[in-house]
């Protein structure tokens, strides 16, 4: 295990074994889950600590992937039972998908525990888990510099009160456009973001899938384009990869300014664009810092006037 001071970013979320079917291929028991994608993406920028839970069916091959990224696993729990499993099939557009099965297994009773070495981390990413669990994590950390949280429509429907409490305690909320509208009962995304910012966070990132993302903050609006990938193989986890790389870059820089945050979002878009080029974490395993840098230059050139 690494020294406490090495872990500048801690990410909490789900770990799953996914069965994914696209119009071109079907793969089973793939390593997935929000914290897997986010930690892998963040690892390109510095030491990251993982908080999650797996079952006894989570074998050494999966662990080896985490170790390959140099992820600190002090917060990874392994308990008796089966790991969370999800299966889904993507439409021909590789955007819309249908969930075929969701088996929570050990994730059903997951209670995130922050090791002592994580509690003073300056940067925290709360992945898409129940707001009650996100609040449990916030109760364990000591004066973090920047906390970002992700959420989804399920929690807006069934745990709005707790979610609003989370939103009031974080620096950034990330969610997609339909979730922003559901949460605020408004349609215009600028209005949605302003309403959410009034709940507490300085920043709101509204994700728009293949159309990029929108950052709203004290210094105005920044549009983050998505890199136009030639061929998408598996879009699962793209949003988590985006968020993980963004937070990894922020932790690496050691400060949060408007300029740093905008650059962080561009890094998130670039790493996510690589991730969708293969199933699971396969592309991230082979990704190099030079690959990230080269595509960042391309993306910035596409934005230039």
* Domains by residue range for the chain, with CATH: 4-303 (3.40.1190.20)
pTM score:
0.96
Share of the chain above pLDDT 70, in %: 98
Does the structure show a pLDDT above 80 at 176? yes
**Mean of the pLDDT values across residues 192-208?**
97
Does the structure show a pLDDT above 90 at 270? yes
Does the structure show a pLDDT above 50 at 4? no
User: Whole-angstrom Cα distance, residue 83 to residue 56?
Assistant: 7
User: Whole-angstrom Cα distance, residue 10 to residue 299?
Assistant: 28
Are the C-beta atoms of residues 264 and 246 closer than 8 Å to each other?
A: yes
Nearest to 86 by CA among 68, 73, 99: 99
User: Whole-angstrom Cα distance, residue 120 to residue 287?
Assistant: 30
Q: What is the pLDDT of residues 215-236, one digit of tens each?
A: 999 999 999 999 999 999 999 9
Instruction: List the single range of 3-12, 100-109, 130-139, 148-157 with lowest mean pLDDT.
Output: 3-12
pLDDT at 199: 98
Could you tell me the pLDDT band of residue 2, with boundaries at 50, 70 and 90?
Answer: very low
User: Whole-angstrom Cα distance, residue 121 to residue 176?
Assistant: 27
pLDDT at 3: 43
Are the C-beta atoms of residues 207 and 196 closer than 8 Å to each other?
A: no
**Mean of the pLDDT values across residues 98-122?**
96
Mean pLDDT, all residues of the chain: 96
Residue 97 to residues 27, 89, 145, 267: CA-CA distances in angstroms? 15, 5, 36, 26
Does the structure show a pLDDT above 60 at 1? no
User: Whole-angstrom Cα distance, residue 109 to residue 19?
Assistant: 22
Contacts of 220 (CB under 8 A, 6+ apart): none
Could you tell me the pLDDT band of residue 209, with boundaries at 50, 70 and 90?
Answer: confident
Instruction: List the single range of 113-117, 122-126, 208-212, 275-279 with lowest mean pLDDT.
Output: 208-212
Residue 143's CB is within 10 A of a number of other CB atoms, namely 7
Beta strands 172-176; 146-150: pairing state: parallel
């Amino acid at each position: 295990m690494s020294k406490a001071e090495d872990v500048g970013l801690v990410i909490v979320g789900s770990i799953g074994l996914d069965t994914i079917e696209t119009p071109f291929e079907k793969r089973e028991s793939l390593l997935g889950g929000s914290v897997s994608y986010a930690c892998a993406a963040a690892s390109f920028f510095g030491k990251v600590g993982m908080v999650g839970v797996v079952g006894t069916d989570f074998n050494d091959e999966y662990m080896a992937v985490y170790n390959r990224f140099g992820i600190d696993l002090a917060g990874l729990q392994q308990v008796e039972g089966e790991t969370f499993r999800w299966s889904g099939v993507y439409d021909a557009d590789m955007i819309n998908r249908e969930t075929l099965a969701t088996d929570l297994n050990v994730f059903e009773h997951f209670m995130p525990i922050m090791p002592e070495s994580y509690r003073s981390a300056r940067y925290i990413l709360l992945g898409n888990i129940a707001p009650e669990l996100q609040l449990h994590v916030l109760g364990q950390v000591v004066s973090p510099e920047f906390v970002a949280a992700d959420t989804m429509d399920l929690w807006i429907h069934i745990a709005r009160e707790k979610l609003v409490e989370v939103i009031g305690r974080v620096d950034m909320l990330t969610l997609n456009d339909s979730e922003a509208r559901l949460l605020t009962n408004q349609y215009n995304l600028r209005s949605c973001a302003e309403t959410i910012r009034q709940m507490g966070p300085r920043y709101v990132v509204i994700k728009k899938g293949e159309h990029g993302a929108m950052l709203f903050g004290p210094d105005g609006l920044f549009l983050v384009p998505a890199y136009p990938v030639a061929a998408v193989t598996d879009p699962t986890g793209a949003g988590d990869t985006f968020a993980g790389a963004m937070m990894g870059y922020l932790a690496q820089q050691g400060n949060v300014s408007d300029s740093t945050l905008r650059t962080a979002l561009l890094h998130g878009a670039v790493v996510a664009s690589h991730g969708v080029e293969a199933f699971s974490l396969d592309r991230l395993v082979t990704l190099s810092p030079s690959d990230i840098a080269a595509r960042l230059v391309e993306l910035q050139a596409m934005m230039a006037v």
